[in-house]
């Protein structure tokens, strides 16, 4: 299934009745939260650009929403117009770094969507001309043409360079659909032979390249048609067990047999009838096809190139609900029984499911369950998830079965509070508290630990930082914090104090250790996702756990800025920086009394300190970091100080 911004023709699925195989008794319903027997993963709309997996990115928040300690990820080329986009993985390089950073215990598998050729390399040619080009390219790949296969050498080199640990290449997914030129295999010469030979050559090329670069990388291949054999008989295009690690399919709660009616929300009996007569049989065909029981010369359902006695594990490459639409095909809508049925079918050991991926995206069929994302306007990381789910009953069932959500619990005491002073203000910060639901925070103030006022100066805070302003310089202020949710409030945190007007650093949160940008302003232009605070493992930041980053896989123009009040006189502004060096502009800008001083930031992979000394005469200083860059250029900042 294509994400909403990809060019895609309407999906015209032909009705096809697939063998349902022998009836199977469903395993008992799940009554306690336990790890399912398959790896869980999700495709998120922001997946191709979600480079913060530490919790503030969509992948981390989705994992938290389900209460999971581990979650796989599925992504796709991110673009289809060139060889680099479609076949070389260029949109997905950060996922290997994230898998290295967080480990396969947290990010066990990455399903990496790759095509065998671009969608539209000739741009302005007609559809028939594109078909002819694609047919010729299949032939070149089948013949192992060096220039063509060089793109897959690059893919293997990239997987090594980008630190992947375990990746499953979901190559030519939905190849039996006709909405992309290269998918019209029924009108191309030499099929299915060219497809099979091309697949075998690509697998051999990528695996040999990986072996020569880093044999410790686990790279596997997933053969993943649709679940309805749209234009061709998919089984005839199977490349053989020696070249396929997993067999997969994409399946949605839509019906091709007429049980569901367009524009009608079906009742539960109709939903169950569609499952039994349409949805499940389409999936069961793949389980039967992958089973060693059917891999024999006497069985007409046997796989091409099967290995005797081998069952190939299944991956449900995409699955999800489908919207009720008067202009669309019949679907189940908000259907918790579909979620239950899918869980039971995938848990049945006879179906040999290795991994599943819920298609958490408002694409063709709007399968979105997750109501999350970044709901605050102007947060700097807008998400498609802000509108909530159209399937509240199914979403609850999904969390019950596929999640490990903790029972409601009172909030824990906020840990490690700290206070840092500015002119007439104090920034209070603390660590995130536990509790379900996630608590908000209340901040209390006094002039000593024993004189904390019972009424908070701020409450209902979602952030783990609060700026208390309008204070008297030279006066000591003491703060305590409570966490609050619907089950009650925690006890006070330990106290934190600061003397207003006597800062060690006139900038607030110059080390970014609050984990947010609330003390900074960010001018992001048309690409807000290029600006973010990133949590890193110890030793990767200059100090602490957080750094600030400029990066995107598309062009950006960003300015990070903070204006601060401070005494007149000489002050030193410094920052620790790292930069790719390929930006058109990358610099620190310090402005006092309307005069701007520019300090260029040079390329370097190691932390380097830059600084300048400025005379302040107006009681105000502005510190900016400005980047104008093309795609994939980056800047890291940490420990910015004004003293």
Report the pLDDT value the prediction gives residue 361, as an integer from 0 to 100: 77
* Contact between 397 and 39 (Cβ < 8 Å): no
Q: Which of 197, 198, 178 is nearest to 186 (CA)?
A: 178
Q: Does residue 52 have a pLDDT over 80?
A: no
Most confident of 62-66, 104-108, 271-275: 271-275
Q: Does residue 257 have a pLDDT over 90?
A: no
Domain extent listing, the chain: 39-402, 418-499, 521-642
Binning pLDDT at 50, 70 and 90, where does residue 581 land? Answer: very high
* Contact between 389 and 371 (Cβ < 8 Å): yes
**What confidence tens digit (pLDDT) does each residue in 396-418 have?**
999 999 998 778 899 999 999 99
Lowest mean pLDDT, pick from 11-15, 208-212, 571-575: 11-15
Quickly count: other Cβ atoms within 10 Å of residue 452's Cβ. Answer: 17
Binning pLDDT at 50, 70 and 90, where does residue 575 land? Answer: very high
Q: What is the pLDDT averaged over residues 96-101?
A: 80
Quickly count: other Cβ atoms within 10 Å of residue 584's Cβ. Answer: 11
Query: 418-499 domain in CATH 2.40.160.210?
Result: no
* Contact between 553 and 632 (Cβ < 8 Å): yes
Buried b / exposed e over 423-442, threshold 16 CB at 10 Å, is: bebbbbbbbbbbbbeebbbb
Q: Parallel, antiparallel, or unpaired: how do β-strands 496-499 and 425-429 relate?
A: unpaired
Q: Does residue 507 have a pLDDT over 50?
A: yes
**What confidence tens digit (pLDDT) does each residue in 486-496 have?**
999 999 999 99
Report the pLDDT value the prediction gives residue 383, as an integer from 0 to 100: 44
* Contact between 282 and 15 (Cβ < 8 Å): no
**What confidence tens digit (pLDDT) does each residue in 145-191 have?**
999 999 999 999 999 988 899 999 999 999 998 887 778 898 899 99
Rounded to whole angstroms, what are the CA distances from 277 to 254, 503, 597?
12, 71, 72
What's the farthest any 2 CA atoms get from each other in the chain?
A: 91
Among all chains, which residue has been given the structure tokens 């005491």? 413
Q: Does residue 11 have a pLDDT over 50?
A: no
Comparing 517 with 395, the larger pLDDT belongs to 395
Report the pLDDT value the prediction gives residue 368, as an integer from 0 to 100: 86
Q: Which of 228, 35, 7 is nearest to 119 (CA)?
A: 7
Task: Please state which architecture CATH assigns to domain 521-642.
Answer: Sandwich (2.60)
**What confidence tens digit (pLDDT) does each residue in 351-398 have?**
999 999 999 876 677 888 987 643 333 444 444 445 678 899 999 999
Average confidence score pLDDT of the chain: 87
- Domain 39-402: CATH superfamily is Glycosidases (3.20.20.80)
Binning pLDDT at 50, 70 and 90, where does residue 454 land? Answer: very high
Report the pLDDT value the prediction gives residue 304, as an integer from 0 to 100: 93
- HSE-CB for 455 with a 13 A CA cutoff: 0
Report the pLDDT value the prediction gives residue 393, as an integer from 0 to 100: 95
Lowest mean pLDDT, pick from 213-217, 236-240, 301-305: 301-305
Q: What is the pLDDT averaged over residues 551-565?
A: 89
Report the pLDDT value the prediction gives residue 439, as an integer from 0 to 100: 94
């Amino acid at each position: 299934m294509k994400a909403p911004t990809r060019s895609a023709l309407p999906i015209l699925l032909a009705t096809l009745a697939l063998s349902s195989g022998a009836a199977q008794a469903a395993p008992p319903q799940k009554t306690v939260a336990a790890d399912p027997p398959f790896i869980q993963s999700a495709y998120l709309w922001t997946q191709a650009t979600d480079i913060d997996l530490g919790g503030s990115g969509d992948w981390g928040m989705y994992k938290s929403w389900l209460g999971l300690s581990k979650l796989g990820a599925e992504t796709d080329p991110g673009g289809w117009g060139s060889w680099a986009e479609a076949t070389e993985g260029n949109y997905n390089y950060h996922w290997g770094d994230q898998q290295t950073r967080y480990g396969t215990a947290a990010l066990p598998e990455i399903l990496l969507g790759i095509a065998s050729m671009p969608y539209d390399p000739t741009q302005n040619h007609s559809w028939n001309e594109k078909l002819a080009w694609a047919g010729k390219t299949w032939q070149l790949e089948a013949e192992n043409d060096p220039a063509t296969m060089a793109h897959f050498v690059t893919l293997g080199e990239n997987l090594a360079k980008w630190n992947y640990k375990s990746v499953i290449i979901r190559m030519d997914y939905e190849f039996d659909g006709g909405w992309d030129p290269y998918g019209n295999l029924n009108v191309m010469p030499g099929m299915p032979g060219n497809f099979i030979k091309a697949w075998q050559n690509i697998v051999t090329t990528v695996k040999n390249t990986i072996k020569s670069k880093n044999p410790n990388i686990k790279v596997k291949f997933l053969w993943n048609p649709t679940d309805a054999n749209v234009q061709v008989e998919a089984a005839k295009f199977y490349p053989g067990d020696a070249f396929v690690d997993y067999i997969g399919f994409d399946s949605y709660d839509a019906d091709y047999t007429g049980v569901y009616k367009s524009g009608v929300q079906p009742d539960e009996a109709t939903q169950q009838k569609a499952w039994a007569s349409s949805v499940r049989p389409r999936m069961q065909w793949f389980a039967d096809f992958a089973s060693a029981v059917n891999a024999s010369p006497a069985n007409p359902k046997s796989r091409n190139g099967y290995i005797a006695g081998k069952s190939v594990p299944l991956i449900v490459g995409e699955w999800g609900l489908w919207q009720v639409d008067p202009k669309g095909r019949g679907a189940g809508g908000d259907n918790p029984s579909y979620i239950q049925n899918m869980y039971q079918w995938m848990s049945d050991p006879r179906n040999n499911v290795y991994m599943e991926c819920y298609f958490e995206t408002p694409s063709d069929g709007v399968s979105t369950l997750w109501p999350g994302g970044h709901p605050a306007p102007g947060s700097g990381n807008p998400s498609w998830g802000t509108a909530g789910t159209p399937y509240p009953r199914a979403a609850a069932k999904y969390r019950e079965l596929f999640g490990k959500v903790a029972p409601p619990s009172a909030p824990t005491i906020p840990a490690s509070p700290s206070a840092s002073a500015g002119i007439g203000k104090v920034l209070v910060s603390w660590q995130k508290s536990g509790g379900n639901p996630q608590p908000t925070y209340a901040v209390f103030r006094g002039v000593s630990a024993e004189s904390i006022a019972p009424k908070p100066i701020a409450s209902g805070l979602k952030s783990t930082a609060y700026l208390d302003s309008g204070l008297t310089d030279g006066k000591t202020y003491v703060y305590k914090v409570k966490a609050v949710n619907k089950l009650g409030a925690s006890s006070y945190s330990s106290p934190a104090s600061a003397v207003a007007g006597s800062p060690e650093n006139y900038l607030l949160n110059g080390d970014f250790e609050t984990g947010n940008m609330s003390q900074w302003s960010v001018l992001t232009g048309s690409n807000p996702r290029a600006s973010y605070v990133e949590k890193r493992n110890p030793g990767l930041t200059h100090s602490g756990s957080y750094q600030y980053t400029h990066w995107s896989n598309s062009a950006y123009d960003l300015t990070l800025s903070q204006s601060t009040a401070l005494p007149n006189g000489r002050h030193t502004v410094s920052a620790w920086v790292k930069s790719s060096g390929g930006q058109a502009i990358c610099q620190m800008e310090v402005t006092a009394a309307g005069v701007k001083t520019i300090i260029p930031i040079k390329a370097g992979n190691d932390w380097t300190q830059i600084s300048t000394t400025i005379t302040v005469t107006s009681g105000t200083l502005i510190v900016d970091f400005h980047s104008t860059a093309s795609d994939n250029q980056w800047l890291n900042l940490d420990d910015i100080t004004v003293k």
